[in-house]
Amino acid sequence: MNGVWKEASSYVELRSPYSGEKIAEVAQADDADTGEAIRAASEAAAVMAALPAFRRSAILEKAAVLLEERKEEMARLIALEAAKPIRTARSEIARTIQTYKFAAMEACRIHGETVPVDAAPGGEGRIAFTQRKPLGVVGAITPFNFPFNLVAHKVGPAIAAGNTVVLKPAGQTPLSALALADLFAEAGLPAGALNIVPGKGSVVGEKLVQDPRVAAITFTGSPEVGIAMKQKAGLKRITLELGSNSGLIIDGTADITPELIDRCIVGAFSFSGQVCISIQRIFVHESKYGEFAEKFKEAAEKLVIGDPLDEATDLSAMISVKEAERMQAWVDSAVAAGAVVLTGGQMLAPGLFPPTILTGVPGDEPVSCQEVFGPLVTLTPFRELDEAIESINDSRYGLQAGIYTRDIQAAMRAADRLEVGGVMINDFPTFRVDNMPYGGVKESGFGREGVKYAVEEMTELKLVCIKL
């Protein structure tokens, strides 16, 4: 914190989710440590606010260059602490580099607009314009599943906007966040502008939410925690990216091509389904249901499960044994309620859960109505498009959804009626690039990420009016 490494009063062991081997001992910030980080960020806020746009842009661009130079090292770090297969980890690093580059661009695009105040009686003889000003200290709380890129989606826009950051990374993936400290120091970020404080959410997160020096909170995690944060945040600006059980529609006009199957496999099972917009529910028109189910099952059974550092691995361990055991309990519950397992469904070893496909799942079963966050998909046939749309909307979540169709009217009806933050037409709901607006409705969140949109969330609009 404040540009230097600080000794903590306590440490915890960090172990590999796959092998169980000890990776590191990680500092645990207490209330005082967190307060010190907030103080450093608060004192650096004026320095960051005064930093010109071209300097902020250059720092972010330099960070992207440094990350590119160390990309293989960083990918292996993700594989070790998150059990993310190495090929998937490399993709995350590539996206992270792109995210910081987008942030560098956006630092030079922050602007206001002129306001025609003379459109109102009494406004004549005046010129008015708006500016966007940094908020100050941003508290960022990130999850385990994208330990580099989801950090970048909070740190990048905050720096681009001229804010300072206190970052609490996920307990299982702190090393990825801590690795950024040296990168940004070398890139020229002022001391105190980025402070990384690993620790318990009940300690660090609580302090960030309640401390009045923190102007904004940006959080990715569970709806239960996010909703509690929003209730405690008071007048703080808050952005929440929460849960999902994303649905995909495949209508009767869609061809069940190898490309479609491949996209569904990636969308459902990449990183063992531990992705916010992972496909959880697939609704297939009854005329294509049998063909899709057969091909999807065949492809899922070809996936390789193993060591995340093995180049051949497609899926590895879930983030914890506890999460895999929860998956097993949910599958067992669905089967007891009448669901049929097409493939998978049984934990292979502690923490290792195979790609699983269920059919005939009652709508009130957890695997259908809650967020699985694991390698599991439910398949359901439908007859009419509206039936499938209603099924997707029958959810507490609304992050993203997708539809495959060759019928433009069906595509536009789905786009209009699906109650989600983003609709992907002729693609899966797992599609995301890092400059698009990203966020959901209902219990999927509040506010939007995507670098430009996050900058808007992290700035205050100020009006200047001049009487001539």
Q: Which residues are catalytic?
A: 241, 276
Give the CB-side neighbour count of residue 66, counting CA atoms within 13 A: 16
> Are the beta carbons of 403 and 367 closer than 8 angstroms?
no
336 three-state secondary structure = helix
Which residue blocks in 147-220 are alpha helix, DSSP H? 149-161, 174-187, 206-210
CA separation for the pair 339, 417 (Å, rounded): 28
Q: Each residue of 80-116: b (16+ CB within 10 Å) or e?
A: bbbbbbbebbbbbbebbbbbbbbbbbbbeebebeebe
Q: How many CB atoms lie within 10 A of CB 444?
A: 28
For 386, half-sphere exposure in the C-beta direction (CA atoms, 13 angstrom radius) is 0
8 Å CB contact between 141 and 218: yes
Element (H, E) at 240: strand 237-241
Contact 141, 91 (CB under 8 A): no
Strand, helix or coil for residue 250 = strand
391, with CB counted inside 10 A (0-12, 13-18, 19+), is middle
Q: Of 197, 221, 226, 105, which is closest to residue 159 (Cα–Cα)?
A: 105
Please give the structure tokens belonging to residue 332.
């067992």
> CB-based burial of residue 3 (10 Å sphere; 0-12 exposed, 13-18 middle, 19+ buried)?
middle
Between CA 337 and CA 334, with CA 296 as vertex, the angle to 5 degrees is 10
- Which residues is 459 bridged to in the sheet? 134
Q: Region of 445 please: left (phi>0), alpha (psi -120 to 50) or beta.
A: left
Helix pair angle (86-107, 149-161), 10° resolution: 10
Q: What's the sign of the alpha-carbon dihedral 288, 293, 299, 305? A: positive
> Maximum CA pair distance of the chain?
76
DSSP code string of 394-445:
SSSEESEEEEE-S-HHHHHHHHHH--SSEEEETS-TT---TTS-B--EETTE
